[in-house]
Amino acid sequence: MSILVTGASGFIGFHVCNRLLQEGRQVIGVDSMNDYYDVELKKARLAMLQDHDGFTFHQFDLSDHQSVLGLYELGITSIVHLAAQAGVRYSIENPIAYHQANQVATLEMLELARNTDIDHTVFASSSSVYGANQNVPFSTADSVDTPISFYAASKRTGELLAHSYAHLYRIPVTAVRFFTVYGPWGRPDMALWKFAEAIESGGSIDLYNHGRHRRDFTYIDDIVEGVIRVLDNPAKPDANFNPLSPSPDHSDAPFAIYNIGNDVSVELTRYVDLIEAELGKTAERNLLPLQPGDIEESLADVEPMRRDFGWTPKVSVEEGVPRFIEWFKTWTSQA
């Protein structure tokens, strides 16, 4: 019995693999190891995973059908599909990359689930799907038909594909929408890393929307805990589904959607204050207008996660930011 984790050398994928391996589970990791950001960081994560006897790794692009076919005979029993092209702003520059990595690859994973004996597929979506919605906290009952970036549109497409497969082939699929994940071993394109790097070097930082963005920064350990609890509880048809008045958070298929985020919204300037305090330095702040594709506030309604899995976010930014900065100092001193 093996769990397939895609994006295994990525930020969230690494942490999910590590947790599963620590629990004694067998994990098959897949990652293309592309150069969207520093490959050395991905290699370092991967090396830690390869220290575990229960981990095997395959390097290829998940949008390559012939390569994916090689997974069909490996005895995979569940899938955590985390691999994706990340980044809202990069999606504006290179939308084709998001079609391949976020749509074609997701279709390949759903085909794998359909054609093999998969108990449950967990698909990583994003809070970005809420788009132009300004009704906070964001609820899975809300309409998500107004994406404002190609990244968001690609993730919503993945959700729709997953529901279609769950309905047609009765394969359990759960989509989890992540909210502003941060923590050790994060990506260099994330705000926390960028700010820390600029502040440490004495540079300036750009704060869009004049620093008034609010985000429910979610620590990686809380994300991983949520993913594991969802994984171990395959989606089932919802008895409350009403075909005469359908709601996005109910389905007659074995399909579900959950938000995994922090239900406390923090202003970006507060986040920067914490980084400066940990580094013992301050930065010049360039206050700039809102960027295209950005939302002003994100805040997750996580009550369904509490209700169904007993999960709740535990790590505040006052705890999480110092943990990241401690790791960041170690990593950059070795680079």
Which amino acid makes up residue 274? L
Is 169 catalytic? The answer is: no
The single residue of 36, 98, 130, 151 carrying the catalytic annotation is: 151
Cα-Cα-Cα-Cα dihedral of 257, 263, 268, 270, to 10°? -160
pLDDT at 96: 80
pLDDT at 335: 64
pLDDT at 298: 82
C-beta of residue 17 within 8 angstroms of C-beta of residue 6: no
Angle between helices 105-115 and 150-169 (to 10 degrees): 10
* 332: its two tokens: 């950059």
Residues of the chain with pLDDT > 90, as a percent, come to: 71
Per-residue pLDDT of 281-301, as tens digits, reads: 998 898 888 777 676 778 899
pLDDT at 256: 97
Confidence category of residue 19, pLDDT binned at 50, 70, 90? very high
Mean pLDDT across the chain: 92
**pLDDT surpassing 80 at residue 1:** no
* 203: its two tokens: 């540079």
Rounded Cα–Cα distance for residues 37 and 285 (Å): 25
C-beta of residue 218 within 8 angstroms of C-beta of residue 178: yes
Per-residue pLDDT of 28-55, as tens digits, reads: 999 999 988 899 999 999 999 999 999 9
Which amino acid makes up residue 53? D
Instruction: Give the mean pLDDT of 170-180.
Output: 97
Which stretches of 171-283 are assigned E, i.e. beta strand?
Answer: 173-178, 181-182, 204-208, 214-215, 218-219, 255-260, 266-267
Q: How many CB atoms lie within 10 A of CB 148?
A: 17
Rounded Cα–Cα distance for residues 108 and 65 (Å): 7
pLDDT at 90: 67
